[in-house]
Structure 1
Amino acid sequence: MRDIFGNPFRPVVFSPYWRTDTAVSLARQMYESRDFSAMPILADALQDAGCDNDDVLSHCRAPGEHVRGCWVVDLVLGRE
C-alpha cells in the first residue's frame, strides 16, 4: 500500500525542477514496461536535480517490489 499511497501523515511537496528529462524518461520507461528495477537510478537522477527529500529518495532506494501506481513515479510523471 505504501508503494502506491506513500505516507499519508507526511505528504511530499514535489518540486517541478526535479522533473528533468532523465528523471521523466526513467519514470516513463518503468511505468510502461512495469519493470521498476531502475528505481535506485531514478533516486540518483532526482538527487542530481536537487531533490533532497528523504521520503522520496529512501522510497526509490528501498528494497522490495514497486508497482505501476508507485507514488514517486506518478509524481515524476505529473500523475498526482
Structure 2
Amino acid sequence: MLREVLGNPFHPVDLDPEWRTQKVLAFARQMYESREFCTMPILADALQDAGCDSDDILDHCRGPGPHVRGCWVVDLVLGKE
C-alpha cells in the first residue's frame, strides 16, 4: 500500500508536462473524484499515447494494484503534492 501512495522513494519519477493532455487529465480527474481506479490501464494507454515512456509510470498503472485515492501516478498527473 505504501508503494501505491508514495511510489519508490529511492527512484523519484518526473512527469513531462506534455504528457498532461486533456485525455490524461480527464481520466485522472475522474478516477480521483469517483475513487474508482479500475481504469488505471486506460490511463496508462492515454499516457503512452501522449508520449510517456516511463516504465515506472506505465508499469504502475498497468499493475494489479490495489489502486487507491492518493495513488502517486494520479497525484503526479493532477499536480497534487
Same fold (TM over 0.5): yes
Shift of 1:13: 1.3
Shift of 1:29: 0.3
Alignment-derived partner of residue 9 in structure 2: 8
Q: Residue 65 of structure 1 aligns to which amino acid in structure 2?
A: P
1:1-80 equivalence runs, <5 A: 1-80=2-81
Q: TM-score, normalised by structure 2?
A: 0.96
Give 3-state SS (helix, strand or coil) of 1:75's partner: helix
Consecutive unaligned residues of structure 2, counting only runs of 5 or more, are: none
Consecutive unaligned residues of structure 1, counting only runs of 5 or more, are: none
Q: TM-score, normalised by structure 1?
A: 0.97
- 1-structure distance, mates of 2:41, 2:48: 11
Q: Residue 71 of structure 1 aligns to which amino acid in structure 2?
A: W
Q: Aligned pairs, how many?
A: 80
Whether the 8 Å contact between 2:4 and 2:65 is mirrored in structure 1 is no
Q: Residue 32 of structure 1 aligns to which amino acid in structure 2?
A: E
Shift of 1:55: 0.2
- 2-structure distance, mates of 1:19, 1:13: 12
Give 3-state SS (helix, strand or coil) of 2:10's partner: coil
Shift of 1:64: 2.3
Q: C-alpha deviations, 1:37-80, integer Å up to 9, x for none?
A: 00000000000000000000000000121110000000111113
- 2-structure distance, mates of 1:59, 1:41: 12
